[in-house]
Structure 1
Amino acid sequence: MTNFDYGPIEFYAIGFDGDRPGPAVLQAIDDLVAAGTVNVLDLVFVRRSPEGELEILELSDTTDDGGVPALDLAGLAGEDDILFLADNVEPGSSAAILVVELLWAKAFSSALYNAGGAVIAREAIPAPIVNAFLAENAD
């Protein structure tokens, strides 16, 4: 029987107006870690100047961690991943590139694998879209 060391991972680009996210964002990430929902594997900040130049700031390059959770696999988000995810960062704004392991899905992934199954497709729908749709179609 196979037990995976890591569960599935997801990459997120979380956009913000201005040059950096506020402390509430880091607290929300920390809360997910504390609840055992996710494991933060990597976290990178990007910001695009008003002129359109992209700056990439690895968490390890910061002098003050600002309460950011410890990273399990810092550097997992490669430059190509970061550039792809940062493509939609508008001039004068920023984003956190977050790579998380879905701890809730770790045992499920092992069970699927052991049963000869595999996830062959997945589609994510952002929460604002789900909530807007449900509100619009509520009885």
Structure 2
Amino acid sequence: MTELDEMGPVDYLCIEFPSGSLTGGALPLLLDLVDRRVIRVLDLLFARKSPDGSVVALDGRELELSGLGAFHGAASGMLGGDDLSEIGNLLEPGGAAVLLVYENLWAAPLARTLRRAGAHLVGGGRIPIQELLAALDASEPEEKPEETAFMSGR
């Protein structure tokens, strides 16, 4: 059995900081997920888009974010120049971003069992919270239904 056979699903997040300020406020929460073995960070890339539109990768050691040292070994080699260009397409000038690639360790046992059963993932995705809330708002009835004898207990 190879390591790939044992892995959980792998996802990525690209998080923009429009002000360009990477404060590290969410870092303790990310460390907690790693410590509790909910996720495993496979790769982490920091980038900044200058006002002239050029995009540069930032060295995590230069950011001086408390707790970032825990991820100095998180470089799977998956992220490269194409990813940096793609981040540049997403960012506003003056913005900064974090690209995080992680394994969902919590789902690894389910993924292993499904693979052993011959199952294949044929779809998936993520629903942005804004879209979910808009859909829920749109599905709420505009008025309360008239009370029926059943509802009033008669």
> Which interval holds the TM-score relative to the shorter structure?
0.7 to 0.9
Look up the match of 1:110: 112
TM-score of the superposed pair, with normalisation by structure 1: 0.82
The Cα shift of 1:132 comes to: 3.8
The Cα shift of 1:65 comes to: 5.0
Percent of paired sites with the same residue: 31
Look up the match of 2:67: 67
Indicate the SS of the match to 1:44: strand
Look up the match of 2:41: 40
Could you tell me which runs of 5 or more consecutive residues in structure 2 were left unpaired when the two chains were aligned.
142-154
Q: Are the structure 2 counterparts of residues 93 and 28 from structure 1 closer, same or farther at C-alpha, using a change threshold of 3 Å?
A: same
Equivalent residues in 2 for 1:24-103, closer than 5 Å: 24-59=25-60, 62=62, 64=64, 66-68=66-68, 69-70=70-71, 73-74=74-75, 75-103=77-105
Could you tell me which runs of 5 or more consecutive residues in structure 1 were left unpaired when the two chains were aligned.
none
Stretches of 4+ aligned residues off by more than 4 angstroms:
none
Are 2:46 and 2:57, in contact at CA under 8 Å, matched by a contact in 1?
Answer: yes
Deviations 1:6-52 (A, max 9, x none): 22211211011222322212123222223322111111111111121
Indicate the SS of the match to 2:48: strand
Are 1:7 and 1:103, in contact at CA under 8 Å, matched by a contact in 2?
Answer: yes
Could you say which structure has the larger radius of gyration? 2
Are 1:13 and 1:98, in contact at CA under 8 Å, matched by a contact in 2?
Answer: yes
Quote the RMSD (CA, aligned, Å): 2.4
Higher strand share: 1
Q: Are the structure 2 counterparts of residues 50 and 63 from structure 1 closer, same or farther at C-alpha, using a change threshold of 3 Å?
A: closer
